[in-house]
Amino acid sequence: MSTATLNAAEHQASGRAAAWLKRLPLLPALIFMIIVTQLPFVATLVISFIHWNALYPNDVTFTWFDNYAQVFTDAQFWSSALTTVLMTVIVVLVSLVIGLIIAVLLDRSFRGRAIVRTIMIAPFLIVPIAAALVWKHAIFNPSYGLLNGILTWIWGLFGQAAAAPQPDWVSSQPLMAVCAALIWQWTPFMMLILLAGLQGRPLDVIEAARIDGASTWQIFRFMTLPHLRPYLELSALLGCIYIVQNFDAVFTITSGGLGTANLPYTIYQTFFEAHDYGQASAEGVVVVIASMAIAILVLRTVSSLLREEKR
Amino acid sequence: MPTMKRKHLRAVAGLAVATATLVALAGCSGAGGSGGSGGSADGSGSTIRVLMVNNPQMVDLQKLTNDNFTKKTGIKVKYTVLPEDSLRAKASQEFSAQAGQYDVATISNYEVPFYSTNGWLLSLSDNVAKDSKFDQSDILKPIQDALTGSDGKVYAEPFYGESSMLYYRKDVFAKQGLTMPANPTWAQVADLAKKLNDVEPGMAGICLRGQPGWGQNIAPLTTVVNTMGGTWFDKNWNAEVDKDGFATAANFYVNLVKNYGEKGAAQAGYTECLNDLTQGKAAMWYDATAAAGSLEASDSPVAGKIGYAAAPVDKTKNSGWLYSWAWGIEKASKNATAAEKFIEWASGPDYAKQAAKAYGWAQVPPGTRTSLYENADYQKSAAAFYKQVENAIKSADPENPGVQKRPAPGIQFVAIPEFANLGTDASQQISDAIAGKTTVDAALKSIQTEAQKVGDTYKKKQK
Amino acid sequence: MSAPTIPAPTASVAPARRARVGKRRTSEAARKQRRRNSLLALLAWVIGLIFVAPIVWMVLTSLHSEANAATNPPSLFAPLTLQSYANFFGSASGASPWPPLINSAIISVLATLVVLVLSIPAAYSLSIRPVRKWSDAMFFFLTTKMLPMVAGLLPIYLIAKALGMLDTLGLMIILYSAMNLPIAIWMMRSFLAEIPVELVEAASVDGASLLLTFRRIILPLASPGIVATSLICFIFSWNELLFANVLTSTSSYTAPVFLTSFVTSEGLFLSKVCAASIVISLPVLIAGFAAQDKLVQGLSLGAVK
């Protein structure tokens, strides 16, 4: 593809050539992304109009909007949409708040600051599937997981080991269990961005405000937070992008059970377990359109991250 | 300016070419080596790719392959080992697309009926089953029947077979002055569970699967449904999930495990239950016969303390399920000859001896051949349970497991492709009910709707 | 795991100033301030330790025997053993972890290279010599990142099957490149936007070729950005499970896929899973720790430029 675009560009020796030349370095990436991300979507769109279950190879017909009708009337699909929203909002908000607290704490100098920062980053650097496996089996497991082990140990200090409560974390709070593992992984990510933001604050202005008698809270509220705004937006945006798409944690910790199936998992299930290619594609199209709408809304209006005048 | 343009272009072209080269370089296959390759006519020199479930016996097989198979036949074997749920998803994707990524896969008596109808499996009747050394007649009858397609041809050979039975702690029973009937009813078992609950610290009365997955909680639950007079579908494909038999059984099952079951029941599957019984956290356990070997293993803390009873019943004479992990060859395989050789070894009569030599008789895959149950060494090592297992398998009848006629075979499942999805949805609802997030009635109502949708598609086809 | 020294110039200036200010206050206030500081330091330590606890537990579990790993209450002081690691590296299971680890390494490194080769010129077009309406192009790239990847899974599977690309490293490299390209372009654009345009223009006026300008001026100035971008691409490529799970089989399966096979249906596996998890996370941990300040810079620049 690269030589093709090259030749095309060379032939256009007209006045528009300069403009094209300027675009040229952009083209490989653009064409690559169109081929790899947009073409499959066209295929998804086509398949979404076909009644096609791989388990019935002889029964493939064109059905117009049947698949969509099924998607829209599928209560499970809607509940997984709700789960996705809930999970994303909870994880992003909580990790932002904890991340901000830690970033503020780490922005001051104290003994072992470098060590604390290093160990705070570590959860982000554990492979997500590994983290999910460890949370499920080594931490949440009601018989031999760390949480209940600690409870037994604490009660044991008072000679009451047998009476220790042994809650079943995943069954009693499935969504929270998945969220906890995700928050653990994503807080460091938020912290990293916010910490960079804090360190870029104009310190002399803050110092001046302090001498003028501003309280720590006032400084935080009226100087630090506004300064952090783009950083908060950036971390929230990146967090949302990755958590909306989360698959590993749901797949591993609950296998989509107990009302924790999110959209990626539901589509995976329709495609990979029910083998209903038509419906899986329809689900995909609906989700793509919805996320496009939300993304455009967010990027165009709320976020200040993409403003032309910045350059 | 023109020279500038030229240079600009060249830089971009350079980058683009570099990208293309990189991708082309990587276009070959990975560190796992190249895919299946043809060898000579007898298959030697070729490589076959096998997709299998990660049960311990399969892992043993993997370790025995080089010395006992590759060295003799010259056929190399590459395995992908996955947990059951992932394996099923991968296998059905692979077979339905006839993607040719694998030559052999572990499939079960659930898949064989419709995989064979769809023409995704290579028939084994003409080669493997006719091989006198392989001795097809030695395979246990119910297992062989379950792996035969509707055209009467054999489509898979069993690696192991299992039914279900009730495990209980003999020592705990004795201490409490309780006895287990040889053929217990579910009412008796519920009564025992009540009496045994918490007799020792942290000990549940009974352990039952609650984990979502149609192969998890739906398997034992469906056997209870069968024996309590319920069914998923009547013979005309009417869903019967919210009807009496099914509802009684589901309420019974959920209440039993809620009241006297293990900790974390809603997420406990076969593995968790096995651990619970091994660690002394349950007094009884109703599950697959395959667990007996692990419970009696030399390093098991409960070895020698386990009693074995038939699957509990209610309205039927027996209720144990029938399950077999078996080897099937993908129709699109380009290495059929080598794949057949592999099956002749892995399901063959000598494999048990090779496995026994390496790991002891207790770890031999059970439930496939009459000769294993007649083997004196095996009888000695599995003295505690081999009879119970053999009887359970022999008495299982997938064609007629309940009190009414069924539209499709299967004991703990309905052998139709939709059941994987239907059962998975249902299993999540049942798991929710066990966790107390919904009621059994609400769960059944929603499962009934889904089941009827499936039933309707078959009604249409019947017309 | 020694803590790398982190140059944090701006932050280290702050306490010095605070200290100077403090001197002017009464000693009572200074003591109060000190106590508050040490309390906040303690809080930072507590939160840090809570966050690292699962990893410590994971390491400890991996060093215990399976039986000691599954006790309640936990046997913290059980004898340590490397048995689980020995098992992982093949002596006890039939499968060697090396092929998936090597596959993951090849895929992640090459995908990162492809991303760099595509993103740097693109970022150049979006910052140093921006095309008209560059933000529309950036917007397009960012929206592709917001597309649920799973929606493309089925067509990609079918296309890959038709092209005979199932279970090849090349397919995974292409997909992971596409997965990371939008973020990479965004990050690279931020870094290139930092470079004064005058510098680049001066070079071209002096007759330096584009390639020379690129090598002499742009590359050195953008190198921290390149490191940060590479690191992010590497981490996300190494971590990916969904696509690898569906699209690879015996030849090019990756480390995360391999890890899923560790939950056996029978017997205890806790220690083994922990050992495997640690080994598989190790490359990312090492890369991440080695370049953590670059990571901070790279992630945050999108916010300011």
Q: Does A255 touch chain B (CB under 8 A)?
A: yes
- Say if the Cβ atoms of B4 and C204 lie within 8 Å: yes
- Say if the Cβ atoms of C149 and A264 lie within 8 Å: yes
* pLDDT bracket for residue A3 (50, 70, 90): very low
Structure tokens at C180: 């990371």
Residues B330 and B200 in one domain: no
Distance (Å) of CA C3 to CA A48, A118, A144, B188: 52, 6, 32, 62
Residues B70 and B209 in one domain: no
Rounded Cα distance between C234 and C129, Å, is 28
Q: Which of B3, B217, B428 to mutate to test the interface with A (most CBs of A within 10 A)?
A: B428
Distance (Å) of CA B76 to CA B33, B41, B172, C167: 12, 15, 49, 18
Chain A: partners with 3+ C-beta pairs within 8 Å: B, C
Task: Report which listed range, A260-274, C56-70, C173-187, is most confident.
Answer: C173-187
Tell me how long chain B is.
463
What share of chain C has pLDDT > 90, as a percent?
Answer: 21
Amino acid identity of B152?
A: G
* pLDDT bracket for residue B1 (50, 70, 90): very low
Residues B74 and B184 in one domain: no
Q: Which of C185, C249, C258, C260 to mutate to test the interface with B (most CBs of B within 10 A)?
A: C249
What does the pLDDT read at residue C264? 60
A–C interface: beta-carbon pairs under 8 A: 352
- Say if the Cβ atoms of C270 and A107 lie within 8 Å: no
* ipTM value > 0.90: no
Residues B296 and B426 in one domain: yes
User: Which chain A residue lies closest to B435 (C-alpha atoms)?
Assistant: A171
User: What domains appear along chain A, each with residue ranges and CATH number?
Assistant: 1-45 (no CATH), 74-310 (1.10.3720.10)
* pLDDT bracket for residue C4 (50, 70, 90): very low
* pLDDT bracket for residue B24 (50, 70, 90): low
What does the pLDDT read at residue A262? 87
Tell me how long chain A is.
311
Single out the residue in B381, B408, B424 at which a domain terminates: B381
Helix (H) or strand (E) holding B224: helix B218-227
- Say if the Cβ atoms of B32 and C169 lie within 8 Å: no
- Say if the Cβ atoms of B55 and C94 lie within 8 Å: no
What does the pLDDT read at residue B442? 94
Task: Let me know if residue B68 belongs to a domain.
Answer: yes
Residues B57 and B124 in one domain: yes
Residues B333 and B368 in one domain: yes
Q: Say if residue B445's pLDDT is above 90.
A: yes
| Closest chain B C-alpha to A272 CA, distance in angstroms | 6
What does the pLDDT read at residue B131? 84
Residues B334 and B308 in one domain: no
| Closest chain B C-alpha to A306 CA, distance in angstroms | 26
* pLDDT bracket for residue C268 (50, 70, 90): low
Contact between A178 and A260 (Cβ < 8 Å): yes
Amino acid identity of B104?
A: V
Rounded Cα distance between B389 and B162, Å, is 8
Distance (Å) of CA B243 to CA A239, B234, B255: 47, 11, 18
Residues of A in contact with B17 (CB under 8 A): 2
Residues B206 and B296 in one domain: yes
Task: Let me know if residue B301 belongs to a domain.
Answer: yes
Q: Does A14 touch chain B (CB under 8 A)?
A: no
What does the pLDDT read at residue C5? 38
What does the pLDDT read at residue C12? 41
Residues B334 and B310 in one domain: no
What does the pLDDT read at residue A91? 95
**Radius of gyration in angstroms for the set of CA atoms belonging to chain B, rounded to a whole number:** 25
For residues B47-68, give the mean pLDDT: 87
Q: Tell me the pLDDT tens digit for each residue of B317-330.
A: 989 999 999 999 99
Instruction: Phi first, then psi: give them for residue B107, nearest 5 degrees.
Output: -120, 180
Task: Let me know if residue B18 belongs to a domain.
Answer: no
Distance (Å) of CA C111 to CA A128, C181, C185, C230: 19, 10, 14, 9
pLDDT higher at B107 or B463: B107
Rounded Cα distance between B147 and C54, Å, is 46
Contact between A258 and B437 (Cβ < 8 Å): yes
Which residues lie across from B284 on neighbouring strands? B168
User: Which chain B residue lies closest to A27 (C-alpha atoms)?
Assistant: B12
Chain C: partners with 3+ C-beta pairs within 8 Å: A, B
Task: Let me know if residue B293 belongs to a domain.
Answer: yes
For residues B168-178, give the mean pLDDT: 95
Rounded Cα distance between B425 and B447, Å, is 8
Residues B409 and B310 in one domain: yes
Instruction: Phi first, then psi: give them for residue B286, nearest 5 degrees.
Output: -105, 115
CA atoms within 13 A on the CB side of C54: 29
In DSSP notation, B133-166 reads TT-GGGB-HHHHHHTB-TTS-B--EEEEEE-EEE
Q: Say if residue C94's pLDDT is above 70.
A: no
| Closest chain C C-alpha to A218 CA, distance in angstroms | 17
- The C-alpha angle with vertex B308 and arms to B302 and B313, in degrees rounded to 5, equals 135
- Say if the Cβ atoms of B32 and C210 lie within 8 Å: no
- Whole-number average pLDDT of chain C: 79
Domain that holds residue B52: 47-155+323-381
Structure tokens at A50: 């076909």
Task: Let me know if residue B452 belongs to a domain.
Answer: yes
What does the pLDDT read at residue C299? 67
Rounded Cα distance between A42 and A39, Å, is 5
Q: Tell me the pLDDT tens digit for each residue of A79-97.
A: 899 999 999 999 999 999 9
Residues of C in contact with A71 (CB under 8 A): none
Distance (Å) of CA C305 to CA B428, C72, C191, C218: 47, 52, 8, 17
- Say if the Cβ atoms of B26 and C253 lie within 8 Å: no
**Radius of gyration in angstroms for the set of CA atoms belonging to chain C, rounded to a whole number:** 25
| Closest chain A C-alpha to C76 CA, distance in angstroms | 10
What 3-state class would DSSP assign to B109? coil
- Say if the Cβ atoms of A54 and B281 lie within 8 Å: no
Q: Tell me the pLDDT tens digit for each residue of C101-144.
A: 999 999 999 999 999 999 988 888 888 777 777 777 777 887 88
Q: Say if residue A40's pLDDT is above 60.
A: yes
- Say if the Cβ atoms of A200 and C3 lie within 8 Å: no
User: What domains appear along chain C, each with residue ranges and CATH number?
Assistant: 26-88 (no CATH), 98-304 (1.10.3720.10)
pLDDT higher at B38 or A188: A188
- Say if the Cβ atoms of A274 and B418 lie within 8 Å: yes
Q: Does A2 touch chain B (CB under 8 A)?
A: yes
What does the pLDDT read at residue C266? 53
- Whole-number average pLDDT of chain B: 86
CATH assignment of the domain containing B288: 3.40.190.10
| Closest chain A C-alpha to C221 CA, distance in angstroms | 18
Name, in order, each residue with C-beta under 8 angstroms of B350's C-beta and a sequence gap of 6 or more. Answer: none
| Closest chain A C-alpha to C86 CA, distance in angstroms | 18
Rounded Cα distance between B68 and B134, Å, is 16
Structure tokens at C236: 């996300």
Rounded Cα distance between C51 and C74, Å, is 19
Residues of C in contact with A132 (CB under 8 A): none
Find the range with the poorest average confidence among A151-165, B247-261, B263-277, B323-337: A151-165
Tell me how long chain C is.
305
Residues B235 and B187 in one domain: yes
For residues B176-203, give the mean pLDDT: 93
Residues of C in contact with B24 (CB under 8 A): 170
Q: Say if residue C10's pLDDT is above 70.
A: no
Helix (H) or strand (E) holding A117: helix A113-121
Distance (Å) of CA B66 to CA A243, B69, B71, B157, C102: 44, 6, 6, 21, 22
Task: Let me know if residue B266 belongs to a domain.
Answer: yes
Residues B339 and B315 in one domain: no
Task: Let me know if residue B358 belongs to a domain.
Answer: yes
Rounded Cα distance between C53 and A120, Å, is 10
Residues of B in contact with C107 (CB under 8 A): 26, 30
Q: Number of folded domains in chain B?
A: 2
- Whole-number average pLDDT of chain A: 83
What 3-state class would DSSP assign to A161? helix
Structure tokens at B288: 């697959």
Task: Let me know if residue B24 belongs to a domain.
Answer: no
For residues B240-256, give the mean pLDDT: 95
In 3D space, the residue among B75, B79, B123, B34 whose CA is nearest the CA of residue B331 turns out to be B123
For residues B378-397, give the mean pLDDT: 89
For residues B191-202, give the mean pLDDT: 92
